[in-house]
Amino acid sequence: MKILFFDIETVPTEQSLKDNGLLESQIKLDEADIIKKLSLAGATSRILCLAYALEPPLDSPVEVIHGDETQIIRSFWKLATETNLFVGHNILDFDLRFIYQRSIINQINPSREIPFARFRNAPVFDTMHEWSRWGREHISLDLLSRALAIPSPKESLDGSKVYPYYCAGRLPEICDYCKRDVETVRQVYRRLTFASIQSPER
């Protein structure tokens, strides 16, 4: 079975910033809430990078794709064609939905249909929902990883800082942060599924 662990980072589009009277060089602290809102909607933001790990092999390295958004989306749908299980944190309500929306905007036909059905763990395993067993607890990856004694990916950077880092030209740090999210999700998934850690040789 092919398992795709993934995460995306997003930033507002230039058009959405202009529509809201914002320019990159003029963003102030009191406008942070507007930036956050713009960054989380497919109609007003774009994919900056996508990090992923495709298993097997077990513990395959985490890769990152960045640059032109259309290429990021096409790369995701290429990966999707060989994926049996999509794993991520809050991917049903954010990452997958966002990728679909940006695919529509960029006129990229998805390579397959991924159901957004609730109360199941295949072909989408959402670690946020699986932790709560589909309750109302929307736990963050930071808090969940800490509860499981897994190093948090949010120690030096979190989602609220992605756009300021982007404006400062710190894309490599954003990509590293995105990769750390994927590695953490992979470890959380193994804890939630009670999977034993096996050596690559096995």
Q: Which pLDDT score, from 0 to 100, does residue 27 have? A: 58
Min mean pLDDT across 15-24, 28-37, 51-60 is at 28-37
CA triple 131-46-59, angle to 5 deg: 45
Q: Domains plus CATH for the chain? A: 3-192 (3.30.420.10)
pLDDT at 202 over 50: no
Region of residue 45 (phi > 0: left; psi between -120 and 50: alpha; otherwise: beta): beta
Q: Any idea of the CA torsion for 174, 177, 178, 183, to the nearest 10 degrees? A: 160
Give 121-140 pLDDT, tens digit per residue: 999 999 999 999 999 889 99
Which residues fall within 8 angstroms of residue 14, CB to CB, at 6 or more apart? none
